[in-house]
Amino acid sequence: MKSLKWNRPSGEIYHYKIVKDTVGRQERLRIDLGFRCYRELDVKGFKEGEIVRLSSTKKTWSIQKVNSDCLLYHYLGILERVVDGDTFVAQMDLGFGLTARQKIRLLGINAPELNSSDGVEAFDSLKKKLKPGTGLLIRTHIQDKYGRYLGDVLYLSGKESDYETLRAKGIHLNEELSFDN
């Protein structure tokens, strides 16, 4: 039997790419926060394609250039609800005090539809693992044909957890569900 190689989310949160945006005749640089959300870059000294890291104090966010080979699109999230056996809704922290509410489909997991008994079983199984308020570390990939982002997820059962704890000790949900089937 061939085993799958799963890729745990291993990137850093608050790492984003600088993109160029043209509005009318004016070009400007923006920070691509993911989910088609952008933040205008009002600081000089950055170029298109550079990777930046956000960090915050109590009320201020700072932006620093970082090594360009880091993995992007990693977010801390809170589970809102499970939709079916392979999809959930989460609220994800983008930095700058911004939150994105997104439907995430688990990458590499294809649960049966809810209109079947197997689909209901998969839904119930995922609801037992992920309770509303559960802390998540999510790495998003591309959108599927229904507009859901495909993602890899780390979680700790029944706990809202910080980034370091989730990254070090989190259960890789995609891998766990692949062995459940």
pLDDT in tens, 116-148: 999 999 999 999 999 999 999 999 999 999 999
For 105, the domain range is 74-180
Pairwise CA distance, residues 36 & 34, whole Å: 5
pLDDT digits (tens, 9 = 90+) for 152-174: 999 998 677 899 999 999 999 99
> What phi, psi does 97 have (nearest 5°)?
75, 15
The domain tally of the chain equals: 2
- Whether 54 and 84 share a structural domain: no
Identify whether the C-beta of residue 153 lies closer than 8 Å to the C-beta of residue 104. Answer: yes
- Whether 91 and 171 share a structural domain: yes
Query: Residue 57's pLDDT is what?
Result: 87
- Greater confidence (96 vs 27) lies with 96
- CA geometry: angle 10, 13, 16, nearest 5 deg: 110
Q: What is the CATH number of the domain that holds 117?
A: 2.40.50.90
Query: Residue 4's pLDDT is what?
Result: 55
Output the six-digit token pair for 96.
Answer: 């700058």
- Whether 84 and 121 share a structural domain: yes
pLDDT digits (tens, 9 = 90+) for 34-45: 999 999 998 889
pLDDT digits (tens, 9 = 90+) for 10-29: 889 999 999 998 777 788 99
Average pLDDT of the chain?
A: 91
Query: Residue 69's pLDDT is what?
Result: 73
Sign of CA dihedral 162, 59, 75, 145: positive
Pairwise CA distance, residues 50 & 33, whole Å: 13
- Greater confidence (178 vs 74) lies with 74
- Whether 92 and 156 share a structural domain: yes
3-state secondary structure 50-71: CEEEEEECCCCEEEEEECCCCC
